[in-house]
Amino acid sequence: MAAIRKDLMYAAINRSRALIDYNIQNDVDKRHKFRKQIILADESLTNDEKSEAIKILSRTFDYNKMVYNKGAKRICENCQNECLATLFCEHCVRNYLKANFPNWTSGNKDIDDLIQKCQIEAIQPDMIPEWIPYNNLQNIKYLTKGGFSEIYTAKWTGGKYDSWDPKEKQLVRTGTGTVALKKLENVESANRSWLEEVHNQKFIDFFYLKIVTNIK
Tens-place pLDDT, residues 46-60: 999 999 999 999 999
Between CA 191 and CA 166 the distance in angstroms is 40
- pLDDT per residue as tens digits for the range 17-75: 999 999 999 999 999 999 999 999 999 999 999 999 999 999 999 999 999 999 999 99
**Mean of the per-residue pLDDT values of the chain:** 86
Between CA 65 and CA 58 the distance in angstroms is 10
Inter-residue contact 2 to 48 (CB < 8 Å): yes
Inter-residue contact 85 to 65 (CB < 8 Å): yes
CATH of domain 108-215: 3.30.200
CB atoms within 10 A of CB 94: 15
Burial of 215 (0-12, 13-18, 19+ CB in 10 A): buried
Between CA 138 and CA 200 the distance in angstroms is 28
pLDDT of residue 33: 97
pLDDT of residue 209: 40
pLDDT of residue 187: 47
Q: Structural domain boundaries of the chain?
A: 6-72, 108-215
- pLDDT per residue as tens digits for the range 124-155: 999 998 888 888 999 999 988 866 678 889 99
Instruction: For residues 181-193, give the mean pLDDT.
Output: 59
Report pTM.
0.79
Query: Please, which residues have CB within 8 angstroms of residue 54's CB and are 6 or more apart in sequence?
Result: 36, 39, 40
Instruction: For residues 190-201, give the mean pLDDT.
Output: 57
Inter-residue contact 123 to 99 (CB < 8 Å): no
